[in-house]
Amino acid sequence: MMATATEALGRVLVVDDSVLNRRLLQRALGTEGYDAMLAEDGEQALNVLRSSVPPPFDIVLLDILMPNLDGYETLTTIKTDPALRHLPVIMITAVDETESAVRCIELGATDYLPKPFNVAVLRARIGASLAAKRLRDLELEYLEQVGRVTEAATAVEAGTFAIAGLDSVAARTDALGSLARVFQRMATEVRAREERLQQKVRELQIVIDEERQAKKVAEITESDYFQRLRRQAADLRRIME
Amino acid sequence: MTDNGVIDRSALDALMETTGGDPDFFVEMIDVFLADALELLGAMDGALAGGDAGALRRAAHTFKSNSRTFGASALADLCQEIEGRAATGTTDGLAPLVAQVIAGYPGVATALRAERPVA
């Protein structure tokens, strides 16, 4: 019984031109709890691997001798493609192909699986390769989140920092998460202080404007011209009476 | 070994373990082997006739692998030799080996059919 995608231990792409090997590997992987997809040669495999970013698989099991695009060419293409090169590749090799397996490991393959394969060996090699991949994925995620904290520091200086932009880093339970939370709290406090200062500046501005206005009024009302007009107006009022 | 001595029973036991002990799937795999074998033998014969060393190498490689999976060691060894010699880029001198593979296959097929439960 095949494991469903949601409960699978991992997604494996099996690349082999032998229908027998493909079916056997698919069954064994399914029994072990993996979700296996099949490709008949290197061309098909690359098309499937490039169908989405990141690639929709955790690991590739790759035969060497295949029509169209063989295992060496496929492996080389995977290892030189920035979007695929971190994908673990386990070569499927016959017992008499040790030299080929060594060559593949030199080209970047993670390991090799001798065929006819043994279920315990398959389980051990897939498990070890996936554990290494997941560790690497965690390292990459950590580095990416460190980069976001660094970018946040630059954004604070530029006045463009958005606190919510660090939410996913702040959700971590490790030291980096603590750092992000402290950073968010400090940024919130700095922003609140800035807003208080700006409010103060606005209030002071109003006072200054009022004083300026009063001064201007005084300047006008105390001028000789105004005083003369005022006297003339008083004279006129008396005449009118 | 099986009754006619061409199949290594321990390989069949290992294969049964690989299939998770599912007899239906085991029989399905025997059928896949038998169907594939006719195709691969035809490909080997055709590649030999056409002097296509690459095609001969690939067909011999796949048939070697399939034969080892089912414990047909003699056929697998012959295919391994064909594969190795074809890898040098020539089919010269390989006709007798291909003929031996073709001659040896019916015994393997009979032994494997005998492993299928009687309907």
Residue-range domains of chain A with CATH: 11-137 (3.40.50.2300)
The mean per-residue pLDDT over the stretch A70-91 comes to 95
Q: Is residue B4 situated within a structural domain? A: no
| Dihedrals phi, psi of A59, to nearest 5 degrees | -160, 155
State the Cα angle at A79 between A78 and A81, rounded to 5°.
Answer: 65
ipTM score: 0.88
B32 contacts on A by Cβ (under 8 Å): 19-20, 23
Instruction: Evaluate if residue A110 carries a pLDDT over 50.
Output: yes
| pLDDT tens-place values along chain B, 119 residues long | 555 678 999 999 988 888 888 889 999 999 999 999 999 999 999 999 999 999 999 999 999 999 999 999 999 999 999 999 999 999 999 999 999 999 999 999 999 999 887 65
B88: helix, strand or coil: coil
Place of tokens 């295992």: A71
Confidence of residue A1 (pLDDT cuts 50, 70, 90): very low
pLDDT at A112 over 70: yes
> Does any CB of chain B come closer than 8 Å to the CB of residue A20?
yes
Does the pLDDT of residue A3 top 70, yes or no?
no
pLDDT score, position A176: 86
Position A165 scores a pLDDT of: 83
* Within a domain: B61: yes
H runs (alpha helix) in chain B: 9-18, 23-50, 53-69, 73-86, 95-115
Q: Which chain A residues touch B18 with a CB distance below 8 Å?
A: 24, 27-28, 116-119
CA torsion angle for A31, A33, A39, A42 (degrees, to 10)? -120
What pTM did the predictor assign?
0.75
CB atoms within 10 A of CB B53: 19
Let me know: does A64 contact A83? Beta carbons within 8 Å: no
Inside any domain, residue B43? yes
pLDDT at A154: 86
Q: What is the pLDDT of residue B40?
A: 96
* Overall number of domains in chain B: 1
In a domain, B85, yes or no: yes
pLDDT band at A100 (very low <50, low <70, confident <90, very high): confident
Residue B41: give the domain boundaries: 9-115
Write the CATH number for B75: 1.20.120.160
Q: Which of A117, A137, A135 is nearest to A32 (CA)?
A: A117
The better pLDDT of the pair B18, A64 is held by A64
pLDDT number for residue A163: 81
What pLDDT sits at residue A5?
A: 45
Q: What is the pLDDT of residues A17-53, one digit of tens each?
A: 999 999 999 999 998 999 999 999 999 999 999 998 8
Please state the rounded mean pLDDT for residues A56-84: 93
Asked if the structure places residue B104 within a domain, the reply is yes
φ, ψ dihedrals at A74, nearest 5°: -65, -45
Interatomic CA distance for residues A10 and A105, integer angstroms: 22
Mutation target for A interface from B62, B70, B82: give the one with most A CBs within 10 A.
B62
To the nearest whole Å, the CA of A53 is away from the closest chain B CA by: 33
Q: Which residues of B touch A94 (CB under 8 A)?
A: 61, 64-65, 68, 80
Count Cα atoms within 13 angstroms, Cβ side, for A133.
24
Q: Does some domain include residue B21?
A: yes
Would you put residue B89 in left (φ > 0), alpha (ψ -120 to 50) or beta? left
Is pLDDT at A95 greater than 80 in this prediction?
no
CA distance B29 to B35: 10
Best of B65, B77, B81 to mutate (most A CBs within 10 Å, chain A):
B65
Handedness of CA A174, A180, A182, A188 (dihedral sign): negative
Q: Which of A56-65, A175-184, B65-74 bottoms out in mean pLDDT, i.e. has the lowest?
A: A175-184
Chain A nearest-CA distance from B52, in A, is 13
Helix (H) or strand (E) holding A189: helix A175-221
In a domain, B2, yes or no: no
* Assigned domain for B3 exists: no
Mean pLDDT of A182-191: 84
